[in-house]
């Protein structure tokens, strides 16, 4: 599963970053049509996570992971026929829906393993995904120099291969919960009962709402920073430098930092500390740095990357592990599906806030950074206030596994 997490991101980031350029420059499609295609892909993934989570709890995570892999492979191959508009939108839908199917199922599977603590498991997942995200665009660029068709086929291969491997090798021990068949769950009001269980889980809903602040920040390295560099007449390699530095730090230090964090403080405290660091990292761009060239030119962005990545490293594994804890190991995939709905709202809201802040930069050239700092600090404070109440703390304590094996 960890190898798959790496290879899936490798395949995804080989193709998707270059898709818009191919559709616009090679096929001469309108910017509106390209935007619609990419929007359909994103919406079908973010908007249908709940469906994927429900189906995983009903029919088992193994089936949903395999089906998701097959759909993603087929969707990538359909991009070979992008000149046919209907097939282009079908490819976008299948590619997005595939992610909605296997992501909650995979998160549920990772949360139920017993070899490591949940936080350590999700730390390794983050390392694997960051590795794929780092190498994917490099491999994609090489394949694109051959042809777009070759890029599509090679990007689809990992998903097709792992669909076969998962069918043979992945145990079905987590599917479905309580050893009930899908028909038994359905006759007992399965879907409605699972949704009611999530909606009645107030600590989980509160946590998900608070963590939308985390997702308002998480996308800003690839959104706010490029906008800032464009305004400053920066070069594209400046963006690449920040992204690469963030990925390398995470790959090298994520797991040992998570293990160290587990020795001190509680998960909620680390979540608050991490989100606060993510927000405060943008304060490095507030001063008017005098360096316009040379090595020191990269100092502000490097400080931002280090602080931001440190914040994500001490918060992300605990955020993902707390979801299954707050779910009390019931309908875990459905809880992850609900959680990703809040994540989607956070991602859209964060981009909207930053976009407005840049549009009103005449009020203050640092308005975007002030907004992001405020989001990080406010989210951290609210998480500390609300998630440390005795009732929620008792629920977490009763469902938390031991932190080490």
pLDDT per residue as tens digits for the range 181-190: 444 444 345 7
Predicted confidence band of residue 257 (pLDDT cuts 50, 70, 90): very high
Q: Give the pLDDT of residue 191.
A: 78
Burial class (CB in 10 A: 0-12, 13-18, 19+), 192: exposed
Fold equal for 2-173 and 199-399 = yes
Token representation of residue 299: 């100092």
CATH 1.20.1250.20 matches 2-173: yes
Long-range contact set of residues 259-267: C-beta below 8 Å, sequence gap at least 24 = 259/120, 259/123, 261/119, 261/314, 261/318, 262/117, 262/119, 262/120, 262/403, 262/404, 267/119, 267/318, 267/321, 267/322, 267/396
Q: Give the pLDDT of residue 65.
A: 92
Q: Which residues contact 53 (CB under 8 A, 6 or more apart)?
A: 104, 105, 108, 331, 333, 334, 335, 336, 337, 338, 340
Q: Which residues contact 141 (CB under 8 A, 6 or more apart)?
A: 18
Please indicate, yes or no, whether the overall pTM of this predicted structure exceeds 0.85.
no
390 has pLDDT over 80:
no
Long-range contact set of residues 388-396: C-beta below 8 Å, sequence gap at least 24 = 388/268, 391/203, 392/203, 392/206, 395/203, 395/325, 395/326, 395/328, 396/267, 396/268, 396/322, 396/325, 396/326
For 302-319, how does the pLDDT look when each residue is reduced to its tens digit (9 = 90+)? 898 899 999 999 999 999
Q: Give the pLDDT of residue 173.
A: 59
Q: Give the pLDDT of residue 235.
A: 60
Q: Give the pLDDT of residue 393.
A: 58
Lowest mean pLDDT among 46-50, 174-178, 187-191: 174-178
379 has pLDDT over 70:
yes
Could you say which of 1.10.3720.10, 3.40.640.10, 1.20.1250.20, 3.40.50.150 is the CATH number of the domain covering 199-399? 1.20.1250.20
174 has pLDDT over 60:
no
Predicted confidence band of residue 114 (pLDDT cuts 50, 70, 90): confident
Lowest mean pLDDT among 254-263, 266-275, 309-318, 389-398: 389-398
Most confident of the ranges 30-39, 114-123, 176-185: 114-123
Mean pLDDT of all residues in 266-294: 86
For 204-242, how does the pLDDT look when each residue is reduced to its tens digit (9 = 90+)? 999 999 999 999 998 788 778 877 877 776 665 666 778
Lowest mean pLDDT among 41-55, 78-92, 228-242, 306-320: 228-242
Give the integer Cα–Cα distance in Å for 8 and 365.
39
Average pLDDT over all residues of the chain: 84
How many other C-beta atoms are found inside a 10 Å radius of the C-beta of residue 59? 17
Give the integer Cα–Cα distance in Å for 355 and 278.
18
Instruction: Give 256 or 301, the one with higher predicted confidence.
Output: 256
Predicted confidence band of residue 295 (pLDDT cuts 50, 70, 90): low
Query: Quick check: 34 and 16 in contact, CB under 8 A?
Result: no
Q: Give the pLDDT of residue 46.
A: 76
Give the integer Cα–Cα distance in Å for 68 and 96.
10
Lowest mean pLDDT among 54-68, 99-113, 384-398: 384-398
Predicted confidence band of residue 179 (pLDDT cuts 50, 70, 90): very low
Mean pLDDT of all residues in 72-100: 93
Q: Measuring CA to CA, which residue among 72, 80, 121, 123 is closest to residue 101?
A: 72
Give the integer Cα–Cα distance in Å for 97 and 75.
10
pLDDT > 90: percent of the chain: 35
63 has pLDDT over 80:
yes
Q: Give the pLDDT of residue 188.
A: 44
Q: Where are the domains of the chain?
A: 2-173, 199-399
- Output the 3-class SS for 266-320: CHHHHHHHHHHHHHHHHHHHCCCCCCCCCHHHHHHHHHHHHHHHHHHHHHHHHHH
Q: Give the pLDDT of residue 40.
A: 82
Burial class (CB in 10 A: 0-12, 13-18, 19+), 398: exposed
Give the integer Cα–Cα distance in Å for 378 and 275.
9
């Amino acid at each position: 599963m960890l190898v798959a997490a790496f290879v899936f991101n490798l395949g995804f980031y080989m193709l998707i970053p270059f898709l818009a350029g191919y559709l616009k420059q090679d096929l001469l499609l309108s910017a509106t049509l390209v935007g619609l295609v990419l929007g359909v892909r994103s919406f079908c993934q973010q908007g249908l996570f709940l469906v994927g989570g429900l189906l995983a709890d009903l029919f088992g995570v193994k089936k949903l992971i395999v089906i998701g892999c097959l759909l993603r492979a087929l969707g990538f191959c359909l991009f070979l026929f992008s000149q046919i508009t209907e097939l282009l939108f079908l490819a976008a839908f299948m590619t997005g829906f595939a992610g909605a199917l296997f992501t909650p199922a995979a998160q549920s599977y990772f949360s139920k393993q017993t070899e490591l603590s949940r936080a350590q498991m999700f730390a390794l997942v983050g390392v694997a995904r960051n590795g794929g995200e780092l190498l994917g665009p490099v491999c994609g660029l090489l394949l694109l120099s051959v042809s777009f068709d070759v890029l599509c086929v090679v990007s689809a291969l990992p998903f097709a291969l792992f669909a076969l491997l998962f069918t043979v090798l992945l145990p079905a021990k987590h599917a479905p919960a309580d050893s009930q068949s899908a028909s038994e769950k359905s006759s007992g009001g399965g879907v409605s009962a699972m949704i009611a269980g999530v909606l009645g889980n107030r600590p989980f809903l509160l946590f998900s709402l608070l963590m939308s602040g985390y997702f308002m920040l998480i996308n800003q390295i690839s959104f706010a920073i490029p906008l800032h560099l464009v305004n400053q007449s920066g070069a594209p390699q400046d963006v690449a430098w920040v992204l690469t530095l963030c990925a390398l730090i995470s790959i090298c230090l994520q797991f040992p930092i998570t293990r160290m964090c587990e020795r001190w403080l509680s998960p909620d405290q680390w979540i608050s500390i991490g989100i606060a660091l993510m927000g405060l990292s943008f304060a490095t761009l507030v001063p008017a740095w005098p360096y316009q060239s040379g090595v020191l030119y990269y100092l502000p962005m490097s400080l931002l990357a280090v602080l931001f990545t440190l914040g994500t490293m001490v918060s992300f594994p605990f955020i993902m592990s707390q979801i299954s804890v707050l779910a009390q190991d019931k309908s875990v995939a459905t809880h992850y599906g609900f959680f990703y709905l809040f994540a989607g709202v956070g991602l859209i809201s964060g981009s909207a806030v930053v976009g407005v802040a840049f549009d009103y930069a005449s009020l203050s050239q640092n308005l975007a950074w002030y907004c992001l700092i405020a989001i990080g600090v406010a989210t951290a404070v609210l998480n500390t206030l609300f998630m440390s109440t005795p009732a929620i703390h008792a629920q977490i304590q009763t469902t938390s596994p031991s932190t080490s094996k």
